[in-house]
Amino acid sequence: MADEQFPGWHGTTIIGVKKDGEVVIAGDGQVSLGQTVIKGTARKVRRLSPGGHEVVAGFAGSTADAFTLLERLETKLEATPGQLARASVELAKDWRTDKYLQKLEAMLIVTDGKDLFVITGAGDVLEPEHNVAAIGSGGNFALAAARGMMESDRSAEDVARDAMAIAADICVYTNGKLTVERIKV
C-alpha cells in the first residue's frame, strides 16, 4: 500500500536526561494510527542486561522495527560487554549497510549510566549536547522544555517528567502515561 493511502503510525515521545550522576529515559504510552489512539499504555522504554551490564533503551517509530533493533543492540552488547559506544556504532554501521535493516523505521535513545546516545538509521550515533536527547513526534517539545530546566535544582527524573508533561500538552501524538527508567553512574 502506498504511504499516502495508509495513515501511518505516529505517537511517541522519548527523552533522555543526564544530570547529577544519573541518567533517566522516559517515554509516553500512546500509539496512534492516523488520528485514532490505538493504545495508551505502551512500554517504549526497556531495561536490557546483556552480559550483566545494564542498559536502558527507549524507542520511537515502528514497534516491530524497534524490537528488531533492540535485539541487535543486545547482540552487539554481548559481543562488547560494557562498551555501549562501540556496540552502538556497530549497530549503526549494520543498520546503514544491511539491506534488511535499512528498511527499519525507528530511532533509539540508549544509556548505560555513563553515556547517552541517539542511534539513527542514517548511521548516526549522537551524543547530545547539554545532556538531553529526545526523539519522536513530541521530541522537540520535550527537548526544549528539558533544556530550559537543566540549570534548575530539579533531578534528572523531575526534568524528564516535567518535559514529558509539557510535550504531552502540545503534541497530540503524546500522552502523559510514562514509563521511566533510571541508571545511576
Selected catalytic residue, list 12, 13, 80, 111 = 12
Phi, psi of 91 (to 5 degrees): -65, -45
- For the CA atoms of the chain, what is the radius of gyration? 16
**12 in active site:** yes
168 marked as binding residue: yes
Q: What is the rounded CA–CA span in Å between residue 20 and residue 32?
A: 35
Burial of 26 (0-12, 13-18, 19+ CB in 10 A): buried
DSSP letters for 9-77: EE--EEEEEEETTEEEEEE---EEETTEEEES----EEEE-GGG--EEEEEEE-HHHHHHHHHHHHHHH
**Using the 8-state DSSP alphabet, how is residue 135 labeled?**
E
What's at 99, amino acid-wise?
Answer: K
The SS3 assignment for 104 reads coil
Residues annotated within the binding site for Na(+) are 168, 171, 174
Residues identified as active-site: 12
